[in-house]
Amino acid sequence: MRTPKHDDDAHAFLVAMAGLAAVFAAAFGCSFLLKTPPLARFSFEIGAVAVGVAATAPLLALLYWFLTTRWKSAVAFRDSQIDFFATIGFEFTPIRIAILAVGAGISEEILFRGVLQTWMTGPMPVWQAILFTNLIFGALHARTVFYAVAAGLVGVYLGVLLEVSGNLIAPMIAHALYDVVALDYARRAIAGRRS
């Protein structure tokens, strides 16, 4: 028999999944409205996959700095992130982390890089398209100002990665792999607080 706590956990995870589904739907809705095919710059090529894997290294280096720095603003944000994830309403298990990371990597990259950045590169220079797309990306991650700025900068990196690789799969993979590591850190930090 399911316990109320188990039901709440499952419900909260389903809400998170619904959020990812909404981003995916928004990507295809914007694609239709902007007449920009969402996967026009996507192809499964081993070289682009390798670029995405390699491009994760700078993101992980930034994450390592973030996790070890003593800079007060970063420490306060790091603590607030763990507090946020600890109260999100569901347990982070390895399979859930994988689902969330892959879901975010695919849905957010299709929306922001595949549709919005690609659409904006029509009427403006690439650097402006990257900048404007990631102002939106950062604003939609604005749980705090620090998080909005950090997300916007990571988005710029992913936007440049798309332009350099020419393939949407590269930022998708970098985004998803980064999220796996970051969410697993959150899982371990939450477990450490509880023990």
DSSP H helices in the chain:
4-34, 46-68, 72-86, 94-108, 118-120, 126-139, 145-165, 169-194
- Mean pLDDT to the nearest integer, 2-11: 74
> Can you give the pTM of this predicted structure?
0.93
- Mean pLDDT to the nearest integer, 12-18: 96
Looking at residue 106, its pLDDT comes to 97
Does pLDDT of 193 surpass 90? no
Looking at residue 3, its pLDDT comes to 52
Does pLDDT of 1 surpass 50? no
CB atoms under 10 Å from CB of 43, counted, come to: 11
Looking at residue 142, its pLDDT comes to 86
